[in-house]
Structure 1
Amino acid sequence: MADPSYYQRFPVTQQLQHTEHIFHLYVEQRSNQLPNGNQIPIAPTKPPSEPAGHFGFGVSCDWDVRDGPTPAAKTVARAQGLLLGTGQLTPFHYFLCQNIIFTDERFKGSSLKLLGSLPNDVNDEWAIIGGTGEFAFAQGSVKYKQVMVDPTGIVIRELNICVLCTNKPMKRIPYKDGPLGGKGGTICDITEAPQRLESVTIQSGDAIDSIMFSYTDQAGKKQMAGPWGGNDGLEQTILLAPTENVTKVFGTTGEFQGDTVVTSLTFVTNVATYGPFGKTKGTPFSIPKEDGDNVVGFFGRVGSLVNALGVYVTPSFAN
């Protein structure tokens, strides 16, 4: 069945990246009986002072979240949500559902979604079940403990927050580097923009006879290119692992049978070095020029041999 017009899907063929965020914060809860209270009852049944009065008792809260334990510390977020009494026996027990909404400049507009329990006088843990902004796709936990309880109705808790976020890979537009070599032969190029290199097959003897490769295009489809060149020489294939990327191509160019051609190639990945293929004689070269980029495809000039070779390049995940 065809997908409807309001829906799109894309395969994720790149390695996912995760970011861990660690926060050490303090939250202050103030009773509504105080002039500056930051919570209010919304569903009272029995007064909380009566037996089982907390059961079914609801509170709407907008707690201060600071970078230190004192009122003089900077307020960096608000803990906004609901508390619902879910325990019939003492000590009382609340279910907590909150958003920690950041207000400081660094994380303003981002939030964390919390679920958990708030038992009386007990240090416990809340679950992070999601987030927005910089914390999209968040998972993690908040370990808390009471550091101050004032009889007037103020409670301060220390929060140790650990958040793990999955970062969606961004589409990386490739650029061309090269070609390097001679001007003989005809132009060979690919028609679909590449996203990731999957394999490379080289035929070589005294020079590079041909090159063939497979790659994943920007739509996530596997494509084949080549063989470009002749069919002489020893054939060797490099199969790249799922997390392996070609970061550098070294080679040499020189005169062969009256033409300037690519005489050798060496492929360097984040895992291993493959080659050299051919004979390392002539003028050396290396592409791409920038370190930290990934080779995702090739183009060049080809006749009976590979006359010149260039690469398609995208920035690495580290950049």
Structure 2
Amino acid sequence: MAAKNPSYYQTGPCQEVKQNEHFLHLFMDQHVQGTAGANQASIVKPTEFGDFGHTAVVDWSVRDGRAPNATIVARAQGTAILSDMSGQTWFMCYTMVFNDERFKGSSLQLLGTHVTAKDGQYAVVGGTGEFVGANGVVNVKIIEFLDTTTGVIRELNIRFSCPCPNQSPVTKMGPWGGNGGTSFDIPDLPRSIQSVTVRCGDVINSLAYSYVDKDGQKKNVGPWGGAGALSVTITLASSEIVKQVTGTTNIIGGDTVVTSLAFVTNVTMYGPFGKENGTPFSSQVPDKSSIVGFYARAGGSVNAFGVYVCPN
């Protein structure tokens, strides 16, 4: 039997996430310690095994072209460690921090090894800002030794993908009804509905429901509206989803209100609740999608009603 999850841990199923692919063509300048324009410094220089374990911190400039006057768009900041006893292979771990106007505030995390004076590859293992969740590869090519001792210019061809910013499959439909009452909505994007409570008489007086948000947390909202003669609670089964909501709206006492609601799931139909009096509406949810939440306008009764829709 699996152990109970601890209080600090939460989990839930994830939805398909769309990604953007990015390509960067850049040039990285290395100038060794003790030379003009030096942008690295040794912090550990062991002697027992030659240079094995030699460690340097780097702040290499990254430009948008090969020429010395090309614009510096980022800095490669991190460490280089001579990690094999033959004295040829360096382990590289650094963050490419962008400072140009387009990507300022974003960074890429790079990790890998290169053999002295040879081409190689680094892995893109993460990022921040516009590049959150980055994953890809950097092809590194030496294009110029500045001379035998002072530094190297490397060409970087970076290809990586990361989730589209603010990508969400959840969309709103509606609302149906009038402009009276107060607007009510939910604080987090929903993932599924668990239960719905409707209070009604001749009209829909109020609506309350529970849902699971995108982070897997159960939330309760409502009631939105006033008291009604009848209260009905629908509790959905674990595999039951809401496919459509139908209803009617009418002008009562000078205000447009929702007079009836019915909830159609993949199992059955609940309702209609209230009285089917007035202009009919239907959510018309696309195939392979379901209703995962509601929003409304309400005062003494429900003036308008809308739904959140998400692909199954």
Same topology, TM > 0.5: yes
Amino acid at match of 1:76: V
Residues matched between the structures, number: 270
From the superposition, tell whether residues 212 and 194 of structure 1 become closer, same or farther in structure 2 (CA, over 3 Å): farther
Structure 2 partner of 1:216: 211
Structure 1: distance between partners of 2:70 and 2:269: 60
In the superposition, the TM-score normalised over structure 1's length comes to 0.57
Amino acid at match of 2:305: V
- Does the alignment pair 1:141 with 2:136? yes
- Does the alignment pair 1:283 with 2:284? no
- Does the alignment pair 1:62 with 2:63? no
From the superposition, tell whether residues 73 and 267 of structure 1 become closer, same or farther in structure 2 (CA, over 3 Å): farther
Structure 1: distance between partners of 2:14 and 2:228: 29
1:27/1:159 contact within 8 Å kept:
no
Structure 2: distance between partners of 1:83 and 1:116: 10
Secondary structure of the 1:148 match is strand
Amino acid at match of 1:35: A
Gaps of 5+ in 1: 1-7, 47-51, 288-292
Structure 1 partner of 2:120: 124
Residues 136-173 of structure 1: CA deviation (Å, up to 9, x unaligned): 5x352332221403260323132314153597999xxx
1:307-318 matched pairs, under 5 angstroms: 310-311=304-305
The alignment's C-alpha RMSD in Å is: 5.7
**Greater Cα shift, 56-65 or 30-39:** 30-39
From the superposition, tell whether residues 294 and 71 of structure 1 become closer, same or farther in structure 2 (CA, over 3 Å): farther
Structure 2: distance between partners of 1:148 and 1:14: 47
Post-superposition shift, 1:63? 0.9
From the superposition, tell whether residues 29 and 280 of structure 1 become closer, same or farther in structure 2 (CA, over 3 Å): farther
2:208/2:222 contact within 8 Å kept:
yes
Post-superposition shift, 1:212? 7.1
Amino acid at match of 2:162: L
1:150-165 matched pairs, under 5 angstroms: 150=145, 152=147, 153-164=151-162
Post-superposition shift, 1:215? 2.4
Post-superposition shift, 1:81? 1.8
1:215/1:296 contact within 8 Å kept:
no
Secondary structure of the 1:107 match is coil
Residues 184-241 of structure 1: CA deviation (Å, up to 9, x unaligned): xxx9x999967536157799xxx99999763238893343878976599xx9988798
1:1-319 matched pairs, under 5 angstroms: 20=20, 22-24=22-24, 25-32=26-33, 34-45=35-46, 53-89=50-86, 92-136=88-132, 138-150=133-145, 152=147, 153-164=151-162, 180=178, 196=190, 198=193, 214-216=209-211, 220-223=217-220, 251-253=247-249, 262=259, 282-284=278-280, 295-298=293-296, 310-311=304-305
Structure 1: distance between partners of 2:69 and 2:258: 72
Alignment identity in percent?
23
In the superposition, the TM-score normalised over structure 2's length comes to 0.58
Amino acid at match of 1:311: F
1:194/1:217 contact within 8 Å kept:
no
